[in-house]
Structure 1
Amino acid sequence: MSAVAVRVAGENLLLLPEKAVYWPLEKMLIIADIHFGKAAAFRALGVPVPRGTTSENLAGLDALVAKHGARRVVFLGDFLHARAAHASSTQLAMLAWRQRHPDLELMLVRGNHDLHAGDPAAALGIELVDEPHAIGPFAFCHHPDVDTPGYALAGHVHPVYVLATRFDALRLPCFVVGSARMILPSFGAFTGGHAVKPEPGDNIYVTSGDAVHSVR
């Protein structure tokens, strides 16, 4: 799969087709809006939605950690979608995944859904911080509009970009890379997206799942 390298805040970052960012210098994967338990929350309300999204998310993490040799994963908020994410089946799946990666450092920058869902189980061994959280030249955030002196890496928006012709249109997850902040696409399965309109100076990189492409 074809990633795209960008240089921001004096550092090289890789925009990955799998809707994540990799910081090679720190061997760090950066993930936004994984929303564990979202499908379970909908099913708890009687809405018939697909099962298996937790397994799909964990398999995606497995593949990225193995592919890049990551030593650390930072989640940019909305790790859990709602209190339904504390259901035993979801928790057992996440604990089993954690046991496969005991040496992997995990950090969660709390997002708005995390505040309602509650913190992840302590057994997952996730460091919990509030936004903005500074590491090197970056400010790790959930919301992209947080006032911070560092270059912000954020989520929350679930950005997608609409590629349109006269006859059809396609919505693809995208990275929004500006001069002072980057907004990552939602990593989680079954999370939807919000069509974004680039601001002056923004560069848009869409992902097809197989490759990342610059479109603006």
Structure 2
Amino acid sequence: MTADTAPAPTHPSPPAGAHAITLPCGTALWLLPQRAVWWPAARMAFVADVHFGKAATFRRAGQPVPHGTTADNLARLDAVLAATGAEHLVFLGDFLHARSGADERLWQQLLPWRQHHAHIAMTLVRGNHDLHAGDPPRALGIDLADEPWQPVTGAPVAACHHPQTVEGATVLAGHLHPTTTLYGPARDAMRLPCYALTPGLLVLPAFGAFTGTSSQSVPPMARRFAVVGDQVLAVPARTDPG
């Protein structure tokens, strides 16, 4: 029985619009329309590739990019925590985008948000951007870990930034910013963020409000789950219309 064909896990109140998967080991995960994964047994939520400070970095380079992306990211993180009641929030790498965007204005937004959620444990599994941007300040109260990181000792789930193989575990990762394309009549097409599932690996869509995406980075045989508005929907294997 594969992860995407296993029966949906029993959960007293699944988050609205979520799609349930059960890993081969029996561990239940929910794929949320907020671009986060909820692990109910561990009371943990996972997000990947927030890229705080990216818009500011681009503005410093003279690019006409929007303001307000940090506030949007924080509001959507609030929605994840409200939908799940998570006791632990795990960032799967690229919390920060670049050192130049990690300035006092960013911390003035993040610190009050973190204080509001002081009762929730938070961990950052460092990604490639974090290694260049530096760790977030200690005042944010975010624990730091290198990949692969096992959130619960002995559990068959590993937290990473880069997709990789961890023996005996299903890896939750980011980095690829995956998307899928839905095809309609008359060569209509719509590209949407998605989750990509292969044996031993679940890649999350990029969480950040101002991030690039890629439709070429997902393995062709991956099972895809598209974020369609306020729902996550399984995408049937497609035939390219040519």
TM-score normalised by the chain length of structure 1: 0.95
Aligned length: 214
Q: Deviations over 1:137-182 (max 9, x none)?
A: 11111001x2321211100000000112333211100000111100
TM-score normalised by the chain length of structure 2: 0.85
Computed over aligned residues only, the root mean square deviation of the Cα atoms, in angstroms, reads 1.2
Q: Does 1:138 align with 2:153?
A: no
- In structure 2, how many angstroms separate the alpha carbons of the residues matched to 1:182 and 1:171? 19
Q: Which one has the largest radius of gyration?
A: 2
- In structure 2, how many angstroms separate the alpha carbons of the residues matched to 1:122 and 1:133? 20
Higher relative contact order (CA 8 A, sep 6+): 1
Query: Could you tell me which amino acid in structure 2 is paired with residue 159 of structure 1?
Result: P
Structure 1 residue matching 2:119: 3-state secondary structure? coil
Query: Could you tell me which amino acid in structure 2 is paired with residue 99 of structure 1?
Result: Q
Higher share in strand: 1
Post-superposition offset of 1:103: 1.1
Query: Could you tell me which amino acid in structure 2 is paired with residue 147 of structure 1?
Result: T
- Percent of matched pairs sharing the same residue: 50
Partner of 1:81: 97
Q: Please give the residue correspondences for 1:1-216 in structure 2 after superposition, counting only pairs within 5 Å.
A: 1-8=16-23, 9-135=25-151, 136-144=155-163, 146-149=164-167, 150-165=169-184, 166-196=186-216, 197-200=218-221, 202-216=222-236
Runs of 4+ in 1 over 3 A off after TM superposition: 196-200
Residues 118 and 16 of structure 1: CA distance in aligned 2, closer, same or farther (over 3 Å) = same
Post-superposition offset of 1:210: 0.8
Contact 1:206 1:215 in 2 (8 A): yes
Structure 1 residue matching 2:187: 3-state secondary structure? coil
Structure 1 unaligned residues grouped into runs of 5+: none
Contact 2:165 2:200 in 1 (8 A): no
- In structure 2, how many angstroms separate the alpha carbons of the residues matched to 1:104 and 1:182? 24
Which deviates more, 157-166 or 73-82? 157-166
